[in-house]
Homo-oligomer: A and B are copies of this chain.
Amino acid sequence: MRDLKNVNDAISFDIKKDRLFSATHEEILKGYTTDIYFLRAQEILRHLNLESTPVVAEIFPRREGIFAGLPEILYLLKDKNVKIWAIPEGESFVPYDTVVRIEGPYNEFGVFETPILGILASSSAWATATKECKEAAGDSPLLCFASRHVHPAVAPVLERSAKIGGADGLSCVLGAKIAGIVPKGTVPHSLKVAKAYDEIVEDNTPKIILVDTFKDEAEESLRVANLLKDRLSGIRLDTPGERGGVTPGLVREVRARLDQAGFSYVRIYVSGGLTPERIRILKEAGAFAFGVGSYISSFSPIDMTMDLKEVNGKKIAKRGRIPGKIDNPKLIQVK
């Protein structure tokens, strides 16, 4: 597979028909996920002998959030002749902040404008959503359960971004590996399953059992606690919306019943449609930890825009933008 250089390449290459639709790493690195627009632009520059003209490009977001995705950008451009400045991974930004600046010949990176913006827009959105939840959870553990809502190709990207945003636990195997932590989960429950689980797993693992499955949550919590005793670390409530979801009243009741039965060490994990506001309410009611899924996965990408700010040392700008570099004291040279 050769580097994508011009419009003709973009039309004439072949792919297998029977495949996953997500792009492979090679396809991304060779430029095949670009918009055709940028190939046209490069062809014209070449025609005008301008392809090596030095330029300064800056990227800015249109909403506030938490910056994530930089390592993938650096990996994409690792062999290119450009200098790069960026704000640190996990740093906050406000609209119009310069978050990345790239200097070098335009043809070194022009074809990567689409993937660079896409990586930053997605990763920053997921980190930002997680940060909002973590702020609501405070010192309580926040677990990311969002991978089932996104394409598996980006599930590890999402989980790693959630880690940047403050998630304490990740459920996706590859995501946790990339983020450098051990994946965490719970176990579906029936008495038989819980017993088997108890036999399989060495005792020092924290066992958390999901009790939404077949019976009343309070009754089941007590049954599983009586079965596993001090080998039970927590139960997870995930009452489906059809049954009213997890309410503060349910958390309070299960907490009281566990306490009355001597299981005050058993922690209550909650999940199911959590938002920062519901996290605050359920924490107040006694929940210990929070599993968040769709709040993170459905957070809108934070649109990023790349503007040329200098060409050949001369300040320029499109209509509606201010010509020349816009400084941001948080920027650090990273390449």
Q: Which A residues form the contact surface with B (CB < 8 A)?
A: 4, 10-11, 13, 15, 18-25, 27-29, 31-37, 39-41, 43-44, 47-48, 71-72, 75-76, 113-115, 117-119, 121-123, 145, 147-157, 160, 171-178, 182-188, 192-193, 196-197, 199-200, 212-216, 218-219, 239-245, 247, 249-250, 252-253, 256-257, 260, 294, 297-298, 300-301, 303-304, 315, 317-324
Contact = CB atoms under 8 A, between A and B. Distances in A.
B157 A22 contact: yes
13 contacts: A21-B178, A23-B156, A28-B152, A35-B147, A48-B192, A118-B152, A123-B151, A151-B153, A212-B318, A214-B219, A215-B219, A240-B319, A243-B243
Contact of A18 (B24, B39, B75): B75
Nearest to A300: B298
Given A119-B152, A153-B157, 19 more contacts: A19-B25, A20-B75, A21-B156, A28-B153, A33-B173, A34-B172, A35-B148, A35-B172, A35-B183, A36-B171, A47-B199, A118-B151, A121-B148, A150-B301, A154-B154, A216-B319, A242-B247, A242-B320, A260-B315
A24 B242 CA distance: 37
